[in-house]
Amino acid sequence: MAELNDFTGSVALVVSSCDAFFDAWRPFHAFLQKFWLDCPLDIFLVTNELDLRSSRIRALRVGADRGWSSNFLRVLEQLAHPYILYLQEDYFLTAPVNSRQMARDFAQVIDSDADSLCFRARPRNDPGFQPLNDRFGVVSLNSDGRTRCQVTLWKRSALRSILRPEETAWNFEARGSARAQTMKILSYTRRDNTPIPYLMSAISRGLWMPDAIALCHEHGIAIEPFFRPLFSPRPWQRRLRRAIGRARLRRALRAQLGKPIELP
C-alpha cells in the first residue's frame, strides 16, 4: 500500500499567496503544524518580495505581483515536481489530515494518468459524473466545475497548459473548464470523507471571516499582524472596511519589508 513518503519527490505542496495576504501566513502555518505535522512533502509558499524563515516551508519568490495566474505560471517554472498539491494561504486545516487516504488517492491519480483530483466536492454532482470508487469520480466534460481553486492535486504540465497570463483565480475558475475539456478531471463525491478537511476561505474580499477568527480563538492561534478588518453583512460597511484594510496593509508591508517572517 502506498505511503505519503513515496511521493516526496513527485508531489510538491504549493500554497498560493502574495504579500498582500502575509497576515494569513502565520495562522496557516500554525494549523499545518497542528493538523499535519508529519507531512513529508516539500512545502512552498508563493511570495512577492517578502521572505520567510522556516524549517518546513520554502518561499517561492515571484517578484512584483502580476496577478494570480501570471504569478503561478512563474511558480510552475521554478518547480521540478511533476505534480503539485494546490492550497491557498487562507485554507486553514480544521482536523488531522488522513495521510494514508491521501497516499491512496495520489497513487490512483498518478497510476491512471489523471490530470487532477479536487479534494473538495461540489454541493451536488453534475449530471454525467462517473464514480470511480467510494471517494471520487470523473467530472463530466460539460461541467463548469472542472477547474476549481480548491485543494487539488494537479499534474503540473496540465495546469500550466490551461493557465493564461493576467487571469484572476475567479477568471480561471470561470473560463478554465472549457480549456480542460480534453483532460481527465477527478473530484471527490462528498465533503464528509475528504482526507484534508479545511476552512474555505478565512478571508473574503479582503476581510477576515468570522468563522476564521473563531477557529483561531478556539485553537489559541494568533493572527499577527492583525490589520485586516472583519467581514460585515452590510455592503456599505464592507466597502469602508476594505478601504481601511488597504491603508493598514500598506503600512504593515512597509514595516515588514527586509524582515523575514518567522514560521518556526
Per residue in 177-190, pLDDT (tens digit) is 999 999 999 999 99
The reported pLDDT for the residue numbered 2 is 87
User: Residue 38: pLDDT band by 50, 70, 90 thresholds?
Assistant: very high
**139 and 146 Cβ atoms separated by less than 8 Å:** yes
Q: Is 202 helix (H, G, I), strand (E, B) or coil?
A: coil
Q: Is 98 helix (H, G, I), strand (E, B) or coil?
A: coil
Q: What angle do CA 142, 147, 151 make, to 5 degrees?
A: 140
The reported pLDDT for the residue numbered 126 is 84
* Average model confidence (pLDDT) across the chain: 96
**For the residues 88-95, what does the mean pLDDT come to?**
98
**For the residues 112-123, what does the mean pLDDT come to?**
96
What is the C-alpha separation between 160 and 78, in angstroms, rounded? 12
**For the residues 39-44, what does the mean pLDDT come to?**
98
The reported pLDDT for the residue numbered 70 is 96
The reported pLDDT for the residue numbered 124 is 84
The reported pLDDT for the residue numbered 264 is 81
| 201-251 confidence digits (pLDDT tens) | 999 999 999 999 999 999 999 999 999 999 999 999 999 999 999 999 999
What is the C-alpha separation between 170 and 193, in angstroms, rounded? 26
User: Residue 129: pLDDT band by 50, 70, 90 thresholds?
Assistant: very high
Domains and CATH numbers, the chain: 4-200 (3.90.550.10)
The reported pLDDT for the residue numbered 1 is 81
Percent residues over pLDDT 70 in the chain: 100
Residue 150: pLDDT above 90? yes
Q: What is the pTM of this model?
A: 0.96
Q: Which residue has the higher pLDDT, 116 or 258?
A: 116
User: What are the b/e assignments for 162-173, b being 16+ CB within 10 Å?
Assistant: bbeeebebeebb
